[in-house]
Amino acid sequence: MAQRTKVVVTRQLIDEAQRLLDTNTDLEIVQWHSSNPCDRSWLLEHAKGATGVLVMLSDKVDEELLQAAGAQLKVIASFSVGTDHVDREALKKRNIRLGYTPTCLTDAVADLTVMLILMAQRRAGESMGKVLAGEWPQMPWHPLLMTGPQISRSTVGFLGFGRIGQATLKRLLPFGISRAIYLTSKPGEPVQEDHFGIIKEAAIPIEPAKNWEQLASESDIVVVGCALTPSTKHLVSTEFFSKMKKRAVIVNIARGPIIDTNALVEALAQEKIFGAGLDVIENEPNISADHPLLKQPRCVLVPHIGSATIETREQMATESVKNLLAGLKDEAMVNEVEL
């Protein structure tokens, strides 16, 4: 009898994805079944002899793991959008393929972006805090009590204007925004891809910004949705905030370090901007209760839940299994990283 192909999976998968994996009775499936992240020592021990490994964002894929696995390893399937946890060079020199799951979370992240925009404008964190503290009975009504800027007639500025930015814009159109501008790695140039057909068809102007100064100064809402690179790290700085409108809000659903946290704290404390809504932050998840940003009532911070919908996570799990199986059979993956 031929030896079965071994795969290691660092997590119990969501139902449909687990069933898809389990139908492959020709595979020897070694799986970490706890609800906690996989132990590194367990992974190194069991990787030996594996042809494929399905990993989470919390599992480092490096020389150590590849050596522990051995020369037969031919596919890493990562249940993630980013691949920062994977040493691409190490895979490339061994001709190991890398699958990932970047596309299916667009809707979930765009939904959360709209939520954070509205929460920043409408003071959701601040007003919920007052209710939770029992202060509502002592808030005498007056016409400007807990008011914030209205989204209608806003100019929305996108730092990065890929699939998620465009999906966000699509959702914002019926709120009555009046204009969108965007800054990409090619300032002043129109984007090539119109993912949802809105750029051509929208009834409002959608235009490239010449530079970050223009985007900061003309936007009522700034959406940070670009990749983190050396040139975008701390792109949103004290200078950026100083050019923003006093009634503007900023939302970050991309990567924490694009915004200089100290500059944001200062901008909020000095009322240079109206509010902020963050799904990501520098040094996450190591944010303690005494973090200075948490003392700013106009800042909403949620714990990186952009893609955290049941439907999206189910689809990511299923796609990661498909990528694993495709890698074993030398077939096309749903999404493969070019190494």
Return the number of the residue (25 or 35) whose C-beta is nearest a second copy: 35
What is the rounded CA–CA span in Å between residue 266 and residue 253? 20
Site for a second copy in 184-223 (CB under 8 A): none
Site for a second copy in 241-260 (CB under 8 A): 247
Interaction mask 97-126, a second copy, x per CB under 8 A: ----------xx--xx-xx--xx-xxxxx-
What is the rounded CA–CA span in Å between residue 304 and residue 307? 8
Q: According to CB under 8 A, which one of 28, 60, 90, 175 is a site residue for a second copy?
A: 175
Return the number of the residue (79 or 241) whose C-beta is nearest a second copy: 79
Question: Looking at residue 184, what DSSP letter applies?
Answer: -
If binding is defined by CB under 8 A, does position 33 make contact with a second copy? no
What is the rounded CA–CA span in Å between residue 137 and residue 176? 34
If binding is defined by CB under 8 A, does position 165 make contact with a second copy? no
List the beta bridge partners of residue 52.
Answer: 7, 75
- Is 304 annotated in the active site? yes
Instruction: Please give the helix or strand (H or E) that residue 300 lies within, else none.
Output: strand 299-301
Q: According to CB under 8 A, which one of 1, 141, 330, 338 is a site residue for a second copy?
A: 141
If binding is defined by CB under 8 A, does position 82 make contact with a second copy? no
AA letter at 144: L
Q: According to CB under 8 A, which one of 23, 150, 178, 231 is a site residue for a second copy?
A: 150
Hunting for tokens 């814009």 — which residue is that? 169
If binding is defined by CB under 8 A, does position 3 make contact with a second copy? no
Q: Count CB neighbours of 197 within 10 A.
A: 10
Closest distance of CB 256 from a second copy, Å:
12
What is the rounded CA–CA span in Å between residue 57 and residue 172? 31
Q: According to CB under 8 A, which one of 5, 78, 127, 219 is a site residue for a second copy?
A: 127
**Contact (CB, 8 A) for 99 and 78:** yes
User: Which residues are part of the catalytic machinery?
Assistant: 304
